[in-house]
Amino acid sequence: EYGSVAAAVAKSGADGVEINLSCPHVEGTGTEFGSDPELIRRVVEEVKSAVGDKPVFAKLTPNTHSIEELGLAAVEAGADGLTAVNTLRGMVFDPVLEEPVLSNVYGGVSGRALHPVAVYCVYALRKALPHTPIFGVGGVYEVSDALDFFLAGADAVQVGTSISQRGYGVFKELKKDLVDYLERKGYASFEEFVRKKRRWF
């Protein structure tokens, strides 16, 4: 199924594919699936075969004892890069109904609560895989949140939850704030910032 869907997406004109390997509330492809290196290898190989030369990123779960092992499995199977991370498992109850808020009982914790976990996962993956492209994702609202990811080793960041609160203008705001930060600190380029500041790997 992963392969057939990926092939359809590639055929529709997508520039690349990100594989969701770890949705915490989807039966059969949830955390247990995404925590198994062998299953990750099989899916990545299938998707790579289905999309030809288009880049494939593997989105990893933080619900694991070793995200480095998962990342290595994905890269060895042909993933062109990694996305870190998907949501954490969590749940909340409605005190009036005395029932879970979500119909699935539990779901994924994203946004600010996920951010420190995601930053660590990017750091761990960068140390283990120094040359692999990595997207950092989880709780990017302000430029300081993006800087966390860049300093931890991410090559780029994704923005999700904050779009619902700030709209699509958040991308332009983050870009402007990043440029302002670099200029204020005296960096000639983003590359110079990365080169000088990633000294703890």
Give the position of tokens 């958040």. Answer: 170
Identity of the amino acid at 161: T
Contact 21, 58 (CB under 8 A): yes
Which residues contact residue 6 at a Cβ distance below 8 angstroms, ignoring those fewer than 6 apart? 17, 19, 46, 47, 50, 51, 56
Q: Does the active-site annotation cover 23? A: yes
Contact 12, 75 (CB under 8 A): no
CA distance 29 to 135: 21
CA distance 60 to 33: 11
H/E run at residue 89: strand 88-90
Give the position of tokens 């704030």. Answer: 177
CA distance 189 to 179: 9
Phi, psi torsion values for 109, nearest 5 degrees: -90, 120
Out of 6, 17, 19, 23, the active site residue is: 23
Catalytic residues: 23
